[in-house]
Chains A and B, each alone.
Chain A
Amino acid sequence: MPVTAELLKAINREVQGIPIEEERWKELAVEVNQLRQAAESALGVHDFDRDPAEFSSLLRSRRG
């Protein structure tokens, strides 16, 4: 479900407290939705057992 400018404003008011210009909210909602879409597309290959900390050990174990 896409986030709206109104939702972002509410989150900001209640949680983040970042001064953001009024005319920016619409643009920001587009940007946040793009980033969330990217996260959603990664879920297609999501592995429940994958620990983000494995990244470093994978780098070290696969030396060229």
Chain B
Amino acid sequence: MQKISDELHNLSLCEVADLIKTKQVSAVETLQACFEQIDTLDPVHHAFVWQDRDSAMARALWLDCIQSAGEVLGSLHGVPMAHKDMYYRTGRVSACGSRIRSNEPARGTATVLRKLDAAGGIDVGGLAMVEFAMGPHGFNAHLPRSLNPWGHDRVPCGSSSGSGVAVASRMVYASLGSDTGGSVRCPAAANGIVGLLPTNELVSRRGTMPMSWSLDCVGPLTRTVRDAARILTEIAGPNANGGSASINYEHEIDGPLTGIRVGVAEGYFDEDLDPDVNKVVTGSLEVLRQSGANIIPVKIPRSVSIASDLHPLVMKAEGSANHKPWKRERGDEYSAEVGKRLEAGFFIPASDYINALQFRVFALDDFLETVLSKVDVLHTPLLPIPTPTLEQTAYSSGPNYLKMVVALTRNTKVINFLGLPALSVTCGFTSDGMPTSFQLVGRPFSESLLLRLGHRYQMETKLYREIPRELRRSSTQASVAAE
């Protein structure tokens, strides 16, 4: 007979939350199922950097207790989650993947954590990330390597590497990551799950580690689009004390797609695109078309290419300003890769930085006029290449390495520069068996529309039910051992 935990950890966040709400399963049982999955997989996958099981279990017991008395905190009541280790909670150390912050307890609690607490979520622990969120392929020299559950020889991408691995490995039901150039969407794509980049400023960053103030966004990684909608409903808006969001994104998810104009990029996003990825991503358009959407080619303006080149200028200028005291006094505590990544920012003239920010206004205006006035959303590949191997990303300064690093964030960083919302949804597998995703980009604050399209795609294809290859292997090995 199958154990309840075997069934529980494969459910989506919304499914398990609804079971808890209707008392078909308790918060304690759900948390125990997560602990079992973490015990089985994390010694190999290395998604967690720390866990606080005692506090998580105490909270689960309390949540079950108040539910027995008739009180349900919110839409995440009893749901175990874990977040990138850069969300501060008073008195707790969030090292941000670094040595430098490894002994510094936080002086406050992140607004988004307060909101998830108010909605009834359970915080299980901190997840692996690239040092100070500076790097796209997921490697952190200070931590054990997080492994992709679809292939242990492949990178999980980053910088929210642990978030992607933990959610895809069914260790927790959702996770918050942060996205400055693709750090939510890339690990979501590499690990075969959903990643949402909200509109710049929609979700509070108070109490989270800053990397680049202009570009940083907080976003969820989940297994389904509906799960992402539920999380966004809880975390959107500036209110630090929880409560209802002004929009219930989940309630708007089932609307029709009839007449929605989905743009297919001509220029920039279709350049340097791997043919295998192109085939899978192009195939996903047919599903949207059959669901009622109109597929329309749209030309991408030259300003997007300039934005792509200016993104690292803004990111490095802001990042180096923030890290200057530590780079001067504690430079040897940075890993070689991240330490070097910061250095160019110290030599960017202020006038260049300000011109880049001025250009950002033009680029957004231009994109809205030339692209998002002709279509309602833009559909692009997320990663333009198949998920790289660990070997391909072993740190080097050679041209192939730099080309690969640039390719990883090519289609994502420009969206951060434009401040627009984007949703990453798995749409199939490249010939090596690795998942790949499309990205939907919309007008400012059009998350409801992106979620509606992504949800319909998932309902039509059911790809979100696919179990990662390494989990299937692990499960088979466990069954053989049990027999």
> Which residues of A are at the interface with B, using a C-beta cutoff of 8 A?
3, 8, 11-12, 16-20, 24, 27-28, 31-32, 34-39, 41-43, 45-47, 50-52, 54-56, 58-60, 62-64
Find the A residue at minimum CB distance from B200: A59
> CB < 8 Å: which of B303, B332, B364 contacts A55?
B364
Are B199 and A3 closer than 8 Å at their CB atoms? no
Find chain B residues with CB under 8 A from A41 CB: 306, 309
Q: A63-B444, A63-B446 are contacts. A55–B310 as well, Cβ < 8 Å?
A: no
C-alpha gap A50/B362 in the complex (Å): 8
Quick check: B443 and A52 within 8 Å, CB to CB? no
Assess whether A28 is in contact with B347, with CB atoms less than 8 Å apart. yes
Nearest CB on A from B247, distance (A): 11
**Are A64 and B359 in touch, CB under 8 angstroms?**
no
A8, B397: Cα distance in complex, Å: 20
CA distance A20 to B342 in the complex (A): 11
Is B119 part of the contact surface with A, judged by Cβ < 8 Å? no
- Could you say which residues of chain B place their CB within 8 Å of the CB of A24? 340, 343
CB distance from A47 to the nearest CB of B (A): 6
Cβ A54 vs Cβ B331 within 8 A: no
Our pick among A3, A20, A38, A58 for the contact of B361 (Cβ within 8 Å) is A58
Taken residue by residue from 331 to 350, chain B's Cβ proximity to chain A (1 for < 8 Å, 0 otherwise) reads as: 11000000010011011110
Residues of chain B within 8 A (CB-CB) of A62 are 368, 443-444
Chain B residues with CB under 8 Å of A28's CB are: 343-344, 347
Contact present for B328 and A19 (CB under 8 Å):
yes
- In the assembled complex, the CB of A59 is this many whole angstroms from the nearest CB of chain B, namely 4
Counted as pairs of residues, one from A and one from B, with CB atoms less than 8 Å apart, the total is 116
What's the tally of chain B residues with a CB closer than 8 Å to chain A? 46
Q: Are B201 and A46 in contact (CB under 8 A)?
A: no
The yes or no answer to B442 lying at the interface (CB within 8 A) is: yes
Contacts of B362 in A (CB 8 A): 45, 47, 50
Instruction: Point out the residues of chain B lying under 8 angstroms from A54, CB to CB.
Output: 361
Rounded to whole Å, the gap between the CB of B359 and the closest CB of chain A is 4
- Given A38-B306, A39-B356, A42-B310, A55 contacting B344 (CB threshold 8 A): no
Provide the residues of chain B in CB contact with A18, threshold 8 Å: 324, 327-328, 331, 343, 346
29 contacts between A and B (CB under 8 A): A11-B347, A12-B346, A16-B346, A17-B328, A20-B343, A28-B343, A31-B344, A32-B348, A34-B309, A35-B313, A37-B309, A38-B313, A39-B310, A45-B359, A46-B359, A47-B358, A50-B362, A51-B358, A55-B357, A55-B361, A58-B365, A59-B444, A62-B368, A62-B443, A62-B444, A63-B443, A63-B445, A64-B376, A64-B443
Known: A55-B360, A55-B364, A63-B444. Is A35-B449 also a contact (CB below 8 A)?
no
Known: A34-B309, A52-B358. 13 other contacts (CB 8 A): A12-B347, A18-B327, A18-B343, A35-B312, A35-B348, A39-B310, A45-B303, A46-B358, A59-B199, A59-B445, A62-B368, A64-B372, A64-B449
